[in-house]
Amino acid sequence: MKVLHLDSNHSLLINQLNDLGYTNDEDYTSSKSDIENKIHLYDGFIIRSRFSIDKDFLDKASNLKFIGRVGAGLENIDCEYAESKGITLIAAPEGNRNAVGEHSLGMLLSLFNNLNKADKEVRNGKWLREENRGIELDGRTVGLIGYGNMGKSFAKKLRGFDVEVLCYDIKPNVGDANCKQVSLSELQEKADVLSLHTPQTELTKNMINTDFINGFKKSFWLINTARGKSVVTKDLVSALQSDKILGAGLDVLEYEKASFENLFSDDKMPEAFKYLIDSENVLLSPHVAGWTIESKERLAQTIVDKIKAKFY
């Protein structure tokens, strides 16, 4: 088997594939068109998010047996077309689910205890105790939308708190000892916190909009470590301004490019984003919820293990 690596990853990925007798080539700089000119030479390739894999690319990959995506989602790949050509799609949500669960909890506790705001104030010589009085998580209801690898990880982290954890998912019977599956209407009636753990699909794009937000009985806190395009940012800002959303922890943004690198190539910052960066009750991170030292190794190992199970 001959494998092309299009993004750098943990060294164990190539090392272990070498040990299996695979031939591994690396190309982290060539253009997509240059890659297309040689992709027919390979049985598989490994990618993170360097570029989208569309029909034209797949048609040129005439000998392709698998695509390994070192991450959780496959939205940059035309999955239906790839599968129609008999190509196995391999993702690794198991590899970074623990990291996402920890990051989600960290964001939530930071918001509840004003840690980001208080840190900035102390560094500027302000010692404001009453203004930074926090709230406690115990006794509240946490609602999760999406209960796959990431949602289950967050629910597991919440076991140490006296909270009710509810989930809504389009798949039936996904609830477990850590989380009760409910209807969307019940989740919207009870939740004090909403955390998103959904892939990017047509169902989830622009899912968190004004109508959806106003469907909640109570004002709530929002955590998004899933996909940025699930949240309509201007509607989120309106909800923050009206206190319908009490605070938001956003690891992902609507404005992200597929490569997750530069947000604004034309240096024009949307007004809604300006509001977010100036808000004391908004916590932002650059799509790193699943991006830990440990998850880098686990993601690579998961890909190797799945390739080995299928093709060795």
**Given 94, 186, 189, 287, the catalytic residue:** 287
Give the position of tokens 């899912």. Answer: 207
Q: Which one of the listed residues 5, 227, 254, 298 is annotated catalytic?
A: 227
Side-chain-side CA neighbours of 204 within 13 Å: the count stands at 19
Q: Respond yes or no: is residue 256 known to be catalytic.
A: yes
Q: Is the dihedral of CA 112, 229, 242, 217 positive or negative?
A: negative
Tell me if residue 227 is catalytic: yes
User: What token pair was written down for 118?
Assistant: 């208080």
Q: Is 169 exposed, middle or buried (0-12, 13-18, 19+ CB in 10 A)?
A: buried
Active-site residue, from 121, 164, 186, 256? 256
Residue whose tokens read 């993170």: 48
Judge contact between 156 and 144, C-beta under 8 A. no
**68 phi and psi, to 5 degrees?**
-105, 120
Residue 205 DSSP one-character state: T
Question: Active-site residues: which are they?
Answer: 227, 256, 287
